[in-house]
């Protein structure tokens, strides 16, 4: 699978489960089932899992869908949630692109410099 997108001038590709930013391989980014992604370092060590989830919420305007991300860190049963609605994700046939955008731009977990373990650990603490 090849996915290409440009995020604030960065060229981001996912090819054969390797996420590259500006032609620099950053991490392994794989999906064994729809909307479930595993992020690994380049050696194959699991960093975290990300799930794109949707829930119906009753609001004053009626029944609406709330879209969010669920994060789990390896070797932990604790689940962490994105603190915002990801309904603004660009319409795309590739959930991989949307998750990559989230991890690079909003969470700053990934960059051309590699995996930002400080940001990830702060998020999970």
Determine the pLDDT at residue 39: 93
Question: 12-47: per-residue pLDDT in tens?
Answer: 888 888 999 999 999 998 888 888 899 999 999 999
The rounded distance, in Å, linking the Cα atoms of 119 and 107 is 8
pLDDT at 5: 45
What's this model's pTM, rounded to 2 decimal places? 0.76
Q: Is 121 helix (H, G, I), strand (E, B) or coil?
A: helix
Q: Residue ranges per domain, the chain?
A: 2-124
């Amino acid at each position: 699978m090849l996915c290409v997108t440009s995020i604030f001038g960065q060229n981001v590709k996912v090819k054969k489960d390797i996420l590259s930013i500006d032609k620099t391989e950053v991490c392994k980014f794989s999906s064994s089932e729809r909307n479930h992604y595993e992020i690994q370092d380049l050696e194959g060590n699991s960093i975290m899992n990300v799930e794109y989830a949707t829930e119906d919420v009753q609001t004053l305007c009626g029944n609406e869908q709330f879209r969010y991300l669920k994060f789990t860190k390896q070797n932990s049963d604790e689940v962490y949630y994105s603190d915002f609605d990801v309904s603004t994700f660009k319409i795309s046939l590739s959930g991989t692109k949307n998750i990559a955008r989230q991890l690079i731009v909003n969470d700053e977990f990934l960059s051309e410099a590699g995996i930002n373990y400080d940001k990830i650990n702060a998020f999970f603490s």
